[in-house]
Amino acid sequence: MTRRIHNIPLLVFILTVALASMSVLYYRVRQNMPGSQNGTQDQRRATLSLQPNDYVLGDPNATVVLFEYADTECPFCKRLYFKLEGIVSEYIQKGIPLAVVYRHAPLGIWDKSITEAHAAECVGAQQSAQGYYAFLGKLYTATPSYNGLDMDILPKLATSAGADGAIFVACMDSLEYRDKIKEQKLSSAALGVSTIPHVFIVSKDQIYEVVGNKPKSTITFLIEQALSRPFAE
């Protein structure tokens, strides 16, 4: 004899709450715990620390730093890029030090993303962090994603971000920053990144991870957790 479940709406509600709780728990558990991620804790700390060739968006002396690994032709990376930009701006306006470091992690399925990453580096070489992030913002705005950008507009995007056009073209021809892009991609692999976008929220004694383009509320929740544990000197 078949038994009918009469409280289906209640069951759905319970399952929804349970899944939401598990989601928050997942992000909280994937912290700086022994054996929870690839590599030793010292190796992870070394990778997730500010490097001389990193470009910092926000406060260079921030107590919490978000390391974002992304691909410029990835549509979810595009959405997250602008979301993080807004979050950092909000915190800084409140007088709370926060920073984002954007690192290249091209998937390899969209050949244009590697050229675009090199273009960002060429602009950054001329205009430092301000130009680097101005260019990335313009690039993400222009591209429809999925390898769809018209590459002929790269010089125009570069000059609109403050770069000298001739120097930019020469830099692109030199492929000077391809090794840096490769190193950042390898660093993402060493950290166990298999899906992008992937963000590491780093404080003094914890590393929180956000995989994918998650809601603003999820990201700010973890930032608030991290702010109670300032970034290591």
Express each pLDDT in 43-77 by its tens digit. Answer: 898 999 999 999 999 998 898 999 999 999 999 99
Secondary structure string (H, E, C) spanning 167-197: HHHHHHHHCCCHHHHHHHHHHHHHCCCCCCC
- Does some domain include residue 81? yes
Residue 144 has pLDDT above 60, yes or no: yes
- Does some domain include residue 170? yes
- What is the distance between the alpha carbons of residues 50 and 197, in angstroms, rounded to a whole number? 19
Least confident of 126-130, 153-157, 229-233: 229-233
**Domain of 54: which CATH number?**
3.40.30.10
Specify the number of domains making up the chain.
1
Least confident of 24-38, 60-74, 153-167, 197-211: 24-38
Burial class of residue 49 (count of CB atoms within 10 Å of its CB; 0-12, 13-18, 19+): middle
Backbone angles phi, psi at 168, to 5 degrees: -65, -45
Token digits of residue 175: 């492929």
Average pLDDT over residues 79-99: 94
- Does some domain include residue 232? no
pLDDT of residue 94: 92
- Does some domain include residue 105? yes
Helix or strand run (H / E) with residue 57: strand 56-58
pTM over 0.85? The answer is no
pLDDT of residue 39: 59
Could you list the residue range(s) of the whole structural domain that residue 155 is in? Answer: 8-227
Residue 132 has pLDDT above 50, yes or no: yes
- Does some domain include residue 1? no
pLDDT confidence band for 25 (50 / 70 / 90): very low
- Does some domain include residue 202? yes
Token digits of residue 57: 């968006």
pLDDT confidence band for 233 (50 / 70 / 90): very low
The tens digit of pLDDT for each residue in 147-156 reads 999 999 999 9
pLDDT of residue 38: 54
